[in-house]
Amino acid sequence: MTAPEQLDGPRACTKYEVGAALDLMNLVFSPQAPEMGSFNPLITSEANAPRMRILRVNGVLVAHAGYWVYDYQTSRGMLKLGGLWAVATHPDYRRRGYGRLCVLDAMRALREEGCQLGWLATGINDWYRALGWENGGEDWTFTVDRFTVNLLPEPDAEVRFGLWPDTAAMLARYHAPGIGVRRSREWFDVLLRRHGLRCATASRHGALLAYVLYKGMHVYEQAGEAACIPGLLRAVFLREDDRDKPTSTSQHLDGMLVRTCPSRDGFATALINLGLPRTRAYNGMWWIPDPPALLNALDLADITVTEAGGTITLRRGDETARLSSGEVVKLLLGPERVAAFAGDLLPIRHYLWRFDGV
C-alpha cells in the first residue's frame, strides 16, 4: 500500500521558495536555456512571491500558477486586470488535478485583490474554458512579403535602428491612444530589455514620431504617428529580410508578420486600403470574477445583473439578455456579437499588447 500524498497548498509562494518555483518553470517552459527568471524580473521577484501560487506534494514543489496585476485602460475606463502566467505542473505529477487547483487558487487571489478582469494567453483553451475562461478581444496580424513591401511608402522621416535614447518619449507615444496596459517606467524598461527585442524609430528634428518593436520577422508593437508606421515597417523589412538565405530550402515565414491592435484609426487602415492580407485572432482568454463590479468600473452601472443557476441576466431599460459567463465575455469584450443588447455601448474598445502578456 502506498502512503497517501501530503498536499501543501495551493498557497502563496514564500520568498524562500521563488528559486524552487523558477526551477519548475524552467523545467516546463525553458529546459534548454533556463531563463524564466530573466524573462520578466518584476514578476519573478521576491516581492511578487505572494502572487505565485504553488502546490507541494510530499514536500516537492510540483505545480505553479502566477499572476500580475495591471492597470488596464479601456475605452470606458481603467480596470484592474489580473494576468495569469507560467501555469505549470511537473511532468511526473500531471493529470491529478494539481494544475487546476493552482489556477483556481490564483483566480481566487486575484478576485480578492479586487481585479475586475482576468487575462491569459494559451494554446490549451478548452482546459481554461472549463475553469470559466473564454476567448475574447481581437488581434490583427498583417503579412508583408518581398512583393508587398514595395507597396509600402518610403519613410517620410529619419529612421534609426535601436532604442530611442529617451525611453520616456517612447512610453508617452505608447500611452497616447489611451488603450492598453498602463505601463510604469520600470515595467516598460523591463519589456524593452527582453532578449532579442529590436526597435526602429521614426523621428524628425530630434523628436520621436513613432516606433516599432520586433524580433526577427515578427513585429509585435507599434506606437506613434500613424502616417510614419508603414514607412517604418518597410525599413524594418528591408533590414531584416535575409536575402542570402537559400530560397529553395528556407521555410521561414511567408514574410514579416505585423501584429497590431484592431483599430481603424491608426496605421492599420493604410494597410487595409492597400489590400494587405490580415488574420484576425483573439486577444487572449478572459475571465470576469464579478460581473456587477466590472460593469460598475466600466461606467455601465445602469445595467443590472442577476445570476441564477449559471445564467447571468442583464437588464437595461426594456432590454434583457440571458447569457452564460462566456457569452458575457463576448458581449463586453467582443469580438462576436452574442446578443442584441446595449449595442450602442458594447463591446468596449480595449487591447493588450503582446509584450505585456507574461
Ligand X SMILES: CC(C)(COP(=O)(O)OP(=O)(O)OC[C@H]1O[C@@H](n2cnc3c(N)ncnc32)[C@H](O)[C@@H]1OP(=O)(O)O)[C@@H](O)C(=O)NCCC(=O)NCCS
Identify which of residues 1 and 130 has a Cβ nearer to ligand X in the complex.
Answer: 130
- The angle at the Cα of 101, spanning 96 to 103, to the nearest 5 degrees, equals 125
Minimum Å distance from CB 276 to ligand X? 30
Dist. CA 82–CA 133, nearest whole Å: 13
Identify which of residues 335 and 357 has a Cβ nearer to ligand X in the complex.
Answer: 357
Element (H, E) at 108: helix 98-112
Residue 152: is it exposed, middle or buried by C-beta count within 10 angstroms (0-12/13-18/19+)?
A: buried
Give the HSE-up count for residue 113: Cα atoms under 13 Å, Cβ half-sphere: 21
Minimum Å distance from CB 5 to ligand X? 11
Element (H, E) at 185: helix 185-192
Minimum Å distance from CB 43 to ligand X? 15
Chain positions contacting ligand X, by CB under 6 A? 28, 63, 87-89, 94-100, 122, 124, 127
3-state secondary structure of 212: strand
Minimum Å distance from CB 127 to ligand X? 6
Identify which of residues 170 and 358 has a Cβ nearer to ligand X in the complex.
Answer: 358
Identify which of residues 107 and 303 has a Cβ nearer to ligand X in the complex.
Answer: 107
Q: Which residue is nearest to ligand X (CB)?
A: 99
Dist. CA 335–CA 153, nearest whole Å: 31
In the chain, the amino acid numbered 300 is L
Identify which of residues 128 and 214 has a Cβ nearer to ligand X in the complex.
Answer: 128
- The angle at the Cα of 62, spanning 60 to 64, to the nearest 5 degrees, equals 130
Minimum Å distance from CB 124 to ligand X? 6
